[in-house]
């Protein structure tokens, strides 16, 4: 058997493509459907937008979530919650639910077998063929999605609550689910700068092939990169097969963010600056994005990341400390526990690559990089013997510097990346996500839609 | 468990503590590119800060971060006033009138922070 690693197949064997590109076909599919204007999920605590289901429609239809083809039925959600598998048996970490309220259901007056026309920004966007209408208790789904210390003692350290943004998304849902297959019938047009980073799985695989990359390591991001991230990328990429990985694919999660996070535009262009200014050669680096309102589910989120990036054609995925985590709900190394030995209490009795209908992407579990004043360099935590004096990187610390108007020193933050932050700071009068940005982002979204005439039902 | 909080020192802040006992506590960070003072924060004070400023969090290093800029500025002013980095700093900082002033300024911070004057190299 050759030691050379090849591009893995999509999760489930085949990339999902549920985008209708023929306008006549799209119009005829929408004919007679009942209209529904997509609206954001708003926090039950303060009413701020925390999710827009259009991002899930996009990620399903363009194949990021392959083999998932639509919103889940009750049985499928139960299967996911019990053993993190779709009804087809393929691993999948999160319930994907199209939720509405009882009041909306009454107004829509739809049932199994009906077709819903989903409108976005006032235009036809997608259709949902209703296979099942079912009801759920949002708090129960939220608790079971993320786990509890009693049920999942391997990784859950404390009970989830409304301070956890992912738990809050499920907790704030409407309680009625419309399950069924979706099709995008009016392809959204990405605005600048998002358009430069839109590589759905089929296009990403083409690009990887065009660049001649046989091995590609994925880097998950929801942050503007500091040099700790850069060292993680550079060093993790040494893990390839007979040579280091040919490519580093940065995949930013774009969607509703927490207050205080960097804005999406700065995240994308900040990563772009890393190769634009040669800190990682552009021959070896590409920046992409996925639409998803992060659930911050640490090990579970890492499973979704593995699925997305395998679908995009990556052979490896780097996972660091506190992967996609917020607060101290999970053990900081939960993701690494999953990818090293599995989490039986979530139904994952072995690592995702050793399970039937599991993943083919290879994890590269990395601890952390820190600045060591004794070594006088940025060092890997398991290699450097000076833990007592090590100075760790902290995104929060860097955000604090930036807020105080202090340019972070180049050893922890590239000046060109800082200038990207300042560029968007001037646009929004604020360097981070605040309530105004959240509302603006919700209103404007990342996309526009072309007008489309259809004979739907109101 | 005690936590820490760091105050970054730029040139003007270093001048203001020169010759005081606080100067001896200045630490180099990241190869001397940054100068900071680190204060130990008793657990009950840390919990109070987290409660008063909901966006504040403890980072992976055990430092209280993401407090409002106004909080850090006032913290530095108290350090200068008391010429100390001891626990009495927090007693002064969290006095109702001072805290009220911090919160009032911090509320405006959520809407606007003046961008620095650097050129975009895009």
Write out the DSSP string of A328-352: TSB-TTHHHHHHHH-BGGGTB-S-G
Contact A76, A24 (CB under 8 A): no
Spell out which residues of chain A touch residue B110, defining contact as CB-CB under 8 Å: 430, 434-435
**B118: pLDDT strictly greater than 80:** no
Model pLDDT for residues A326-359, shown as the tens digit of each residue? 888 999 999 999 999 999 999 999 999 999 999 9
DSSP string, A97-120: --EE-HHHHHHHT--TT-EEEEEE
My answer on whether A274 and A356 are in the same domain is yes
**How many Cα atoms sit within 13 Å of B83 on the Cβ side?**
4
Question: Is the Cβ of A420 closer than 8 Å to some Cβ of chain B?
Answer: yes
Nearest Cα of chain A lies from the Cα of B55 at a distance, in angstroms, of 8
CATH number at residue A257: 3.40.50.620
Per-residue confidence (pLDDT) for residue B122, from 0 to 100 = 54
Per-residue confidence (pLDDT) for residue A237, from 0 to 100 = 95
Whole-number Å distance between alpha carbons of A66 and A71: 12
* Residue A14, in any domain of the structure: no
CATH number at residue A46: 3.10.400.10
* Residue A311, in any domain of the structure: yes
The residue written with tokens 């048996």 in the block is A89
Tell me which of B108, B115, B120, B122 to substitute to probe the interface with A (most A C-beta atoms closer than 10 Å). B115
Spell out which residues of chain B touch residue A371, defining contact as CB-CB under 8 Å: 29-31
My answer on whether A34 and A167 are in the same domain is yes
Per-residue confidence (pLDDT) for residue B66, from 0 to 100 = 87
* Residue A113, in any domain of the structure: yes
Contact A360, A367 (CB under 8 A): no
- Report the percentage of chain A scoring pLDDT > 90: 91
Nearest Cα of chain B lies from the Cα of A67 at a distance, in angstroms, of 36
**A277: pLDDT strictly greater than 90:** yes
Per-residue confidence (pLDDT) for residue A133, from 0 to 100 = 98
| Count of Cβ atoms closer than 10 Å to residue B66 Cβ | 21
Per-residue confidence (pLDDT) for residue B120, from 0 to 100 = 60
My answer on whether A104 and A211 are in the same domain is no
* Residue A10, in any domain of the structure: no
Query: Across chain A, what does the average pLDDT equal?
Result: 96
Per-residue confidence (pLDDT) for residue A258, from 0 to 100 = 87
My answer on whether A323 and A414 are in the same domain is yes
The mean pLDDT value for A405-428 works out to 93
The answer to whether the Cβ–Cβ distance between B61 and A407 falls below 8 Å is no
Confidence of residue A406 (pLDDT cuts 50, 70, 90): confident
Of A329, A348, A193, nearest to A265 (Cα)?
A193
Confidence of residue A77 (pLDDT cuts 50, 70, 90): very high
Contact A400, B111 (CB under 8 A): no
My answer on whether A206 and A248 are in the same domain is yes
Which of B55, B59, B69 is opposite residue A397, by nearest beta carbon?
A: B59
Cross-strand pairs, A70: A181
Cross-strand pairs, A135: A176
Angle, CA of A305, A367 and A217, to the nearest 5° = 40
Beta-carbon contacts of residue A95 (< 8 Å; ≥ 6 apart) = A72, A77, A80, A81, A141, A145, A170
My answer on whether A329 and A402 are in the same domain is yes
Residue of A nearest to B120 (CA): A419
For chain A, the domain total comes to 2
Spell out which residues of chain B touch residue A430, defining contact as CB-CB under 8 Å: 110-113
Question: Is the Cβ of A374 closer than 8 Å to some Cβ of chain B?
Answer: no
My answer on whether A233 and A142 are in the same domain is no
- Report the percentage of chain A scoring pLDDT > 70: 100
Of A255, A243, A248, nearest to A280 (Cα)?
A248
Spell out which residues of chain B touch residue A268, defining contact as CB-CB under 8 Å: none
* Residue A13, in any domain of the structure: no
The answer to whether the Cβ–Cβ distance between A435 and B69 falls below 8 Å is no
Beta strand A132-135 pairing with A70-71? unpaired
Burial of A57 (0-12, 13-18, 19+ CB in 10 A): buried
Model pLDDT for residues B13-68, shown as the tens digit of each residue? 999 999 999 999 999 999 888 999 999 999 999 999 999 998 888 887 889 988 99
Nearest Cα of chain B lies from the Cα of A425 at a distance, in angstroms, of 6
* Residue A56, in any domain of the structure: yes
Question: Is the Cβ of A436 closer than 8 Å to some Cβ of chain B?
Answer: yes
My answer on whether A242 and A172 are in the same domain is no
Outline where DSSP puts E strands in A171-313: 176-184, 189-190, 216-221, 247-254, 285-291
Tell me which of A164, A328, A400, A438 to substitute to probe the interface with B (most B C-beta atoms closer than 10 Å). A400
Determine the angle formed by the axes of helices A415-428 and A264-276, rounding to 10 degrees: 150
Domain range for A115: 23-189
Nearest Cα of chain A lies from the Cα of B26 at a distance, in angstroms, of 15
* Residue A1, in any domain of the structure: no
From A160, A189, A218, give the residue that closes a domain: A189
Per-residue confidence (pLDDT) for residue A396, from 0 to 100 = 85
End-to-end CA distance of chain A: 60
Residues in chain A: 458
My answer on whether A163 and A217 are in the same domain is no
**Which of the 8 DSSP states describes residue A155?**
T
Instruction: Please report, for residues A70, A100, A107, the alpha-carbon distance to residue A113 in angstroms, rounded to integers and kept in the order given.
Output: 14, 17, 17
Whole-number Å distance between alpha carbons of A433 and A80: 32
Which of A332, A371, A399 is opposite residue B66, by nearest beta carbon?
A: A399
From A189, A213, A232, give the residue that closes a domain: A189
* Chain A with chain B: Cβ pairs closer than 8 A: 100
The mean pLDDT value for A295-310 works out to 98
My answer on whether A32 and A53 are in the same domain is yes
The answer to whether the Cβ–Cβ distance between A434 and B72 falls below 8 Å is no
Per-residue confidence (pLDDT) for residue A242, from 0 to 100 = 97
**A111: pLDDT strictly greater than 60:** yes
**A235: pLDDT strictly greater than 70:** yes
Contact A303, A68 (CB under 8 A): no
């Amino acid at each position: 058997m050759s030691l050379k690693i090849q591009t893995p197949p999509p999760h489930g064997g085949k990339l999902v493509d549920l985008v209708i590109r023929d306008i006549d076909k799209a119009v005829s599919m929408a004919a007679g459907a009942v209209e529904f204007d997509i609206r954001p999920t708003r926090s039950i605590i303060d009413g701020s937008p925390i999710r827009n289901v259009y991002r899930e429609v996009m990620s399903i239809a363009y194949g990021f979530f392959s083999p998932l083809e639509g919103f889940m039925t009750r049985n499928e959600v139960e299967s996911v919650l019990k053993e993190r598998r779709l009804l087809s048996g393929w691993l999948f970490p999160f319930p994907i639910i199209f939720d509405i309220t009882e009041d909306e259901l009454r107004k829509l007056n739809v049932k199994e077998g009906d077709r819903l026309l989903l409108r976005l920004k006032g235009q036809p966007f997608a259709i949902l063929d209703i296979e099942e209408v079912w009801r759920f208790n949002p708090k129960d789904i939220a608790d079971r999605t993320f786990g509890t210390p009693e049920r999942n003692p391997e990784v859950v350290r404390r009970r989830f609550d409304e301070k956890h943004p992912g738990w809050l998304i499920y907790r704030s849902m409407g309680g009625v689910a419309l399950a069924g297959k979706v099709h995008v019938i009016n392809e959204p047009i990405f605005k600048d700068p998002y358009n430069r980073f839109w590589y759905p799985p089929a296009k990403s695989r083409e690009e990887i092939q065009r660049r001649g990359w046989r091995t590609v390591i994925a880097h998950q991001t929801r942050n503007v990169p500091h040099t700790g991230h850069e060292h993680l990328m550079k060093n993790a990429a040494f893990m390839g097969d007979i040579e280091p990985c040919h490519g580093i694919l940065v995949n930013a999660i774009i969607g509703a963010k927490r207050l205080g996070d960097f804005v999406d535009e700065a995240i994308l262009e900040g990563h772009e600056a890393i190769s634009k200014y040669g800190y990682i050669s552009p021959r070896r680096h590409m920046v992409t994005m996925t639409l998803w309102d992060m659930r911050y589910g640490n090990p579970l989120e890492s499973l979704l990341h593995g699925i997305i990036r395998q679908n995009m054609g990556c052979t490896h995925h780097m996972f660091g400390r506190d992967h996609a985590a917020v607060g101290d709900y999970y053990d900081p190394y939960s993701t690494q526990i999953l990818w090293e030995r599995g989490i039986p209490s979530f139904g994952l009795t072995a690592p995702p690559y050793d399970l039937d209908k599991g993943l083919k992407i290879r994890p590269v579990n990395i601890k952390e990089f820190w600045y060591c004043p004794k070594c006088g360099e940025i060092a890997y935590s398991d290699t450097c013997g000076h833990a007592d004096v090590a100075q760790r990187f902290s995104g929060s610390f860097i955000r604090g510097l930036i807020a105080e108007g202090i340019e972070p020193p180049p050893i922890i933050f590239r000046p060109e990346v800082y200038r990207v932050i300042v560029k968007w700071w001037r646009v929004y009068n604020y360097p981070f996500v605040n309530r105004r940005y959240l509302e603006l982002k919700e209103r404007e979204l990342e996309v526009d839609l072309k007008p489309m005439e259809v004979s739907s039902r109101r | 468990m005690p936590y820490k909080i760091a105050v970054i020192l730029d040139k003007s802040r270093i001048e203001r503590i020169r010759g005081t006992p606080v100067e001896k506590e200045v630490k180099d960070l990241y190869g001397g590119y940054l100068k900071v003072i680190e204060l130990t924060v008793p657990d009950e004070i840390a919990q109070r800060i987290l409660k008063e400023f909901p966006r504040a969090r403890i980072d992976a290093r055990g430092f209280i971060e993401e407090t409002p800029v106004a909080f850090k500025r006032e913290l530095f002013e108290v350090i200068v006033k008391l010429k100390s980095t001891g626990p009495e700093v927090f007693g002064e900082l969290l006095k109702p009138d001072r805290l009220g002033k911090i919160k009032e300024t911090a509320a405006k911070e959520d809407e606007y922070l003046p961008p620095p004057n650097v050129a975009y190299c895009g």
